[in-house]
Amino acid sequence: MLPIKKIGVFTSGGDSPGMNAAIRAIVRTAISNDLEVVGILNGYDGMINGDFKKLETTDVSNIIQRGGTILKTARSDEFRTKEGRQKAFLALKKENIDAVIAIGGDGTFTGACIFEEEFGFPMIGLPGTIDNDLYGSDFTIGFDTAINTVVEAVDKIRDTATSHDRLFIIEVMGRDAGFIALHSGIACGAEDILIPETKTYYNSLLQKLKHDWRRNKKTGIIIVAEGDDSGGAFEVAKHIENNFPEFKTRVTILGHIQRGGSPSCNDRVLASKLGYEAVIALLKGKRGMMVGIANNKTAFTLFSKAIKHHQFINKGLLEMARVLSN
């Protein structure tokens, strides 16, 4: 194995708060270990097009508190093709980049996994997604900030919901995973939480609402993950209006507000730790793995495992949330 002298770093897929803190940690750890660092702009597209920028210590000053990613991000269609990946490999070789650190979610690691297999190119991943849906890390960079953004918004909605005696159906992100919905729903005392990991039964939702109505509870919050099998917040509201019109419903889709903003303290610390560990791991010869934190310890998980086994959601928490919101 050749010694690593120059590394690349990129962000890919949906951005998440804390990605900048991770870039900062990677750049500074690498430089303090006498490595050169190159930022790859626009995710895999930038790798294909040779969109590279040398990063020095001062390039990552004053970014730890900023949301988004200074390296920009993209979901690359070209990297899904063999030709695209070939171009990326040649561009990395031309720039003399010996290894790459990828910050992203399952799409990013799926690409990394194939790239490693095809070219044997050393890569390490950092879990950067608000969805928290990677196996091998208790938390992903950006999740904590995202759920706090949701909680702040839902608390505000709760004020107006109560004043008007309305039932709000609030849709949060999570195409395949219900972590954002579950955690924010518990924290906001939501009357119900609908997530992709469990089947939504309208009968039990209506039963619960009728029970609330009989107790003179005419207001409430239902959190729906965008990927829930109900079809989303508008569908849920329609169903309630058609079957229990006593409730006055309103829909709020929180959308991309959940992806932005200054990262929380937890996300900054997580990103700093993982960025540092990723560089050390590369220097120790680790490849093809995501570095995460599991049970408070640094944990390495093969890309193939991190993406195939979504974190298991704790369904007991759903049950608890229902009891507590009664």
Give the interface with ligand F6P as residue ranges (CB under 6 A).
13-14, 105, 129-131, 173-175, 226, 259
Instruction: Tell me how far apart the alpha carbons of residues 23 and 21 are, in angstroms, rounded to a whole number.
Output: 6
Instruction: Tell me how far apart the alpha carbons of residues 278 and 269 are, in angstroms, rounded to a whole number.
Output: 14
- Shortest spacing between CB 129 and ligand F6P, in angstroms: 5
Closest CA to 74 of 9, 12, 142: 12
Residue 175 or 315 with smaller CB distance to ligand F6P: 175
Closest CA to 174 of 150, 205, 209, 154: 150
Closest CA to 105 of 14, 31, 36, 178: 14
Closest CA to 112 of 157, 76, 165, 58: 76
3-state secondary structure of 43: helix
Tokens of 65: 């508190």
Backbone angle region of 91, left / alpha / beta, with phi > 0 → left and psi within -120 to 50 → alpha: alpha
- Shortest spacing between CB 146 and ligand F6P, in angstroms: 8
Candidates 15, 98, 106, 131; catalytic one: 131
Instruction: Tell me how far apart the alpha carbons of residues 180 and 311 are, in angstroms, rounded to a whole number.
Output: 13
Q: Are strands 99-104 and 249-253 parallel, antiparallel or unpaired?
A: unpaired
Instruction: Tell me how far apart the alpha carbons of residues 131 and 216 are, in angstroms, rounded to a whole number.
Output: 36
Strand-pairing partners, residue 169, are 222, 251
Secondary element (H or E) of residue 205: helix 202-214
Residue 29 or 129 with smaller CB distance to ligand F6P: 129
Question: Is 131 noted as a catalytic residue in this protein?
Answer: yes
Residue 212 or 226 with smaller CB distance to ligand F6P: 226
Contact 52, 37 (CB under 8 A): no
Residue 13 or 275 with smaller CB distance to ligand F6P: 13
- Shortest spacing between CB 123 and ligand F6P, in angstroms: 20
Task: State phi, psi for 88 to the nearest 5 degrees.
Answer: -60, -45
Q: Looking up tokens 């839902």, which residue turns up?
A: 154
Active site residues: 131
